[in-house]
Structure 1
């Protein structure tokens, strides 16, 4: 039984590593494609170097968090938290038990893959939203340029009319970072206003589910942990 538990733990850690590397590569490839001046193997080498750097950094953060949770699990004096579900007390849990639940979830590679998939889905939703709003963003940008820099805008239009197709394509390629930055700023503003693009905190959901199981509660909802004296909320 103990060997099986150890094998399951190793499998979850391998899955987590695979999820970390996959996420790092997805992030690194477009960065290398954009910043590496040449193409082909140079881009791939740059992407692999960035992937290694991101993966090691993420693994360091994971291990640091695990060490912190392990210290809380092994602490001599473990405070007790009251479990509040939808504003109603449903049970209690010690800090050591809560730290163990969080460490178990953190080591679960399947949850890492679930979170990675949700992040990709969120990114695609944000990109689709940005593309749908890009014409509107460009119209407002042109209106702003017309009011602020009318002479420069007229000169730019005249140059575009005289330019060849290749020069226009090069201009659009140079304009792409600005369009991406404007779209990113618009998406950031929407996120600040509460638009989540379908994002879910899969780690938090898993922790809440295990805490409800600890308290033998089947109901779902907003869960909080509060010190047993109900003074301050658990971090």
Structure 2
């Protein structure tokens, strides 16, 4: 059995590690924990990190969930704060600096979680491998999907009864695309900027139109491409508010 140290586990990239670990464990109690975490009303980021951190603790300590004592989990949390990993590091990425604490991510303009050792450098963002980006952009081009901005007729069409992906570009402009296209699947966040960094990004549901006014139904900072920080969500809220959409 290979049992890595916490440092080895948290400084190397594993695509969707928690999901694979849960399947390999075949532990009904761990399965139940993952289900409860997924159903929690916290943000997607917090739910994901909760499951990931528990899986890391079980891996490093070599125990099943039933044997994970409260004191051991607290110790794991304390030790995790001292382990660093590349800035903005996310699934499928290989870029960034080395000053982020575990579990933290950032956007291009350096908004970060409380306790970050220093502000993030500009353009510190998760970027997919070039071949993945090319495929995502080619798919959008083939489908005719282009970013649209508030204040345009196209904006009303895109937000009509669908979830949209949004981003605040480096110049402060807000753009959206539909999250899914019928028969073609999901559209990547990368389409919003052709892969360039952003100030903030996420998903949203918006009601209304230009005639009756807009109202925000739901907004998150969920982006598998950029992995923005929780604080960066305020940048998105401000950008939408400036466009007449309040959440």
- Per the normalisation by structure 1, the TM-score is 0.25
Computing the radius of gyration over CA atoms, which structure comes out larger, 1 or 2? Answer: 1
Structure with the largest fraction of strand? 2
Structure with the largest fraction of helix? 1
- Per the normalisation by structure 2, the TM-score is 0.24
Which is bigger in relative contact order (C-alpha 8 A, separation at least 6)? 1
